[in-house]
């Protein structure tokens, strides 16, 4: 059973309801504690987890979902009763709260108060996430940029060191890209870069990440990978380039170097191995071109 209730600012003149001082279920100290606990959460996942923990203790929450422009984030499990509550309209966001029991009138009022209390911070979190996303995005190709690459690489290294899970790094360099700019102009060069980004994106799994590292250089991070996985992705990228009309028109090719995370190694070592493999691939292509 689901109850879909709108969120209203209780301070507004057109509020659906207002809490008088007598009606309030949360004391000042508890309200302050909730705000202080959530104030340090600027990541949406951290905010959702912290809110779930707060409501599990206070109301027996079994799960929640936050639907925002950034996507859907779900924690915990679905319950027999669900309340869907809108957040301020300028965030285009709603929270679905799951419970395994019906809420009485006091519990519903307590949930209303907490929801009202936390949504301004949720608005800040969503705006911060959007700013962070834009700051880590390459505006020409819509892939991640170098800053985004560094952030994701750090996360994968941290996860690999904790879990032992192996991930892969791919570095790609477009062969003879400079000739496109020199012969056809920078606008055509930009179109080629966009087409290359599309070829890479369509070749990756949903769990993989692609970045424009700079110029005509790209990088991919492949979680839960092995050598065979990296070979398959490399083949798909080359095939996608062959099938992409603009890249095929200019006979564009790329060199690819790959490396797998090795237990205990640092970031520089992985990148150096992938870069060396890229150089070797470029040398092999050059030799084949001379003998062709």
Instruction: Give me the helices (H) in 60-176, please.
Output: 105-135, 146-163
Q: Tell me, what's the pLDDT at 238?
A: 96
pLDDT in tens, 16-39: 344 444 467 788 899 999 999 998
Tokens of residue 228, six digits = 């065979």
Tokens of residue 90, six digits = 């300028």
Range(s) of the domain holding residue 171 = 146-291
Q: Decide if 231 is inside a domain.
A: yes
Taken in order 23, 24, 28, 29, the sign of the CA dihedral is positive
Are 98 and 151 part of one and the same domain?
no
pLDDT in tens, 48-80: 999 999 999 999 999 999 998 777 888 999 888
Domain boundary among 135, 169, 189: 135
CATH code for the domain of 41: 3.30.450
| 37 φ/ψ sector (left φ>0, alpha ψ -120 to 50, else beta) | alpha
Top-confidence residue, 10 or 75: 75
- Cα distance between residue 151 and residue 136, in whole Å: 9
On the 0-12 / 13-18 / 19+ scale of CB atoms within 10 A, 76 is: middle
Are 35 and 155 part of one and the same domain?
no
CB atoms within 10 A of CB 41: 20
Domain boundary among 135, 157, 175: 135
CA distances from 126 to 41, 84, 92 (A): 11, 18, 10
How many helices (H) and strands (E) the chain has is answered by: 9, 9
Q: Which residue has the tokens 């991930």?
A: 167
Q: What are phi and psi of 93, to 5 degrees?
A: -130, 150
- Asked if residue 62 lies in contact with residue 79, where contact means CB atoms within 8 angstroms, the answer is yes
Top-confidence residue, 162 or 203: 203
Q: Tell me, what's the pLDDT at 184?
A: 94
Q: Decide if 282 is inside a domain.
A: yes
Q: How many domains does the chain have?
A: 2
Q: Tell me, what's the pLDDT at 14?
A: 35
Q: Tell me, what's the pLDDT at 268?
A: 87
- Asked if residue 196 lies in contact with residue 174, where contact means CB atoms within 8 angstroms, the answer is yes
- Asked if residue 67 lies in contact with residue 87, where contact means CB atoms within 8 angstroms, the answer is no
Taken in order 189, 190, 193, 194, the sign of the CA dihedral is negative
Per-residue burial over 1-30, b if 16 or more Cβ lie within 10 Å, else e, is: eeeeeebbeeeeeeeeeeeeeeeebbeeeb
Q: Decide if 195 is inside a domain.
A: yes
Q: Tell me, what's the pLDDT at 90?
A: 67
């Amino acid at each position: 059973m689901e109850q879909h209730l709108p969120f209203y600012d209780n301070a507004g003149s057109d509020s659906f309801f207002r809490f008088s001082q007598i009606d309030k279920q949360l004391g000042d100290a508890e309200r302050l504690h909730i705000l202080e606990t959530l104030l340090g959460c600027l990541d949406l996942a951290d905010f959702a987890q912290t809110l779930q923990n707060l409501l599990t203790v206070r109301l027996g929450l079994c799960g929640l979902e936050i639907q925002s422009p950034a996507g859907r984030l779900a924690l915990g499990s679905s319950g027999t009763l669900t309340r869907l509550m809108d957040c301020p309209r300028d965030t285009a966001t709603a929270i679905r709260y799951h419970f395994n029991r019906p809420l009485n009138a006091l519990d519903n009022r307590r949930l209303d108060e907490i929801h009202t209390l936390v949504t301004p911070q949720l608005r800040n979190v969503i705006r911060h996430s959007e700013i962070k996303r834009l700051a880590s995005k390459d505006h020409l190709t819509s892939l991640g940029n170098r800053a985004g690459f560094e952030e994701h690489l750090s996360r994968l290294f941290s996860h690999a060191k904790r879990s032992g899970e192996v991930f892969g790094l791919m570095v790609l360099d477009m062969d003879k890209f400079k000739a496109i700019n020199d012969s056809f102009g920078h606008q055509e060069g930009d179109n080629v870069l966009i087409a290359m980004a599309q070829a890479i994106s369509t070749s990756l799994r949903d769990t993989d990440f692609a970045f424009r590292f700079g110029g005509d250089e790209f990088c991919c991070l492949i979680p839960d990978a092995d050598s065979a996985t990296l070979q398959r992705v490399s083949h798909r990228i080359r095939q996608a380039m062959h099938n992409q009309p603009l890249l095929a028109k200019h006979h564009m090719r790329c060199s690819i170097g790959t490396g797998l995370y090795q237990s205990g190694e640092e970031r520089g070592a992985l990148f150096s191995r992938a870069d060396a493999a890229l150089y070797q691939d470029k040398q092999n292509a050059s030799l084949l071109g001379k003998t062709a």
